Amino acid sequence: MDPIADYLTRLRNAIRANKRIVEVPASNLKKQMTKVLHDKGFIQGYKFEDGVNTQGVIKIALKYNPATKQPALVSLERVSRPGLRKYTKASDMPRVLNGLGVAILSTSRGVMTDKEAKELNVGGEVLCYVY
């Protein structure tokens, strides 16, 4: 029912199974979230594949530490959900893991991190916490 929770769960399950690549059904919001995760260094790469009669697929290459085999993504936590939306102002931006993590927000200027939203002085819906 919740496509963002499904997206995060697929990533979480792939990490626990030590998969290198995970495929996720595509949507514009998921594409933007994937770009944010890539820009912040949580995933190694991504590829958008459009289907002819389908919604398309996002192929995500997960990132692991070569020496310790530990994943770059430790925790993916859904914050705002369909039953209870969580919104925040630019002045009340949440701190994730005392600044080491990232909160992904959906704002009027697109999907961005908490730090970017604070710089632009925009608030929005807190989609998830990533660290």
Q: Where are the domains of the chain?
A: 3-130
Report pLDDT for 99. 87
Tokens of 24: 């996720």
Please count the other Cβ atoms lying within 10 Å of the Cβ belonging to residue 29: 15
CA distance 26 to 54: 9
Report pLDDT for 29. 96
Report pLDDT for 120. 96
Residue 88 phi, psi (nearest 5)? -140, 150
| pLDDT per 10-residue tile (average), the chain, 131 residues | 95 96 95 96 95 87 93 95 95 91 96 96 97 93
CA distance 127 to 81: 8
Report the chain's C-alpha Rg in angstroms: 15
Report pLDDT for 43. 95
CATH annotation of 3-130: 3.30.1490.10
Report pLDDT for 53. 77
CA distance 64 to 5: 22
Q: Is 41 helix (H, G, I), strand (E, B) or coil?
A: coil
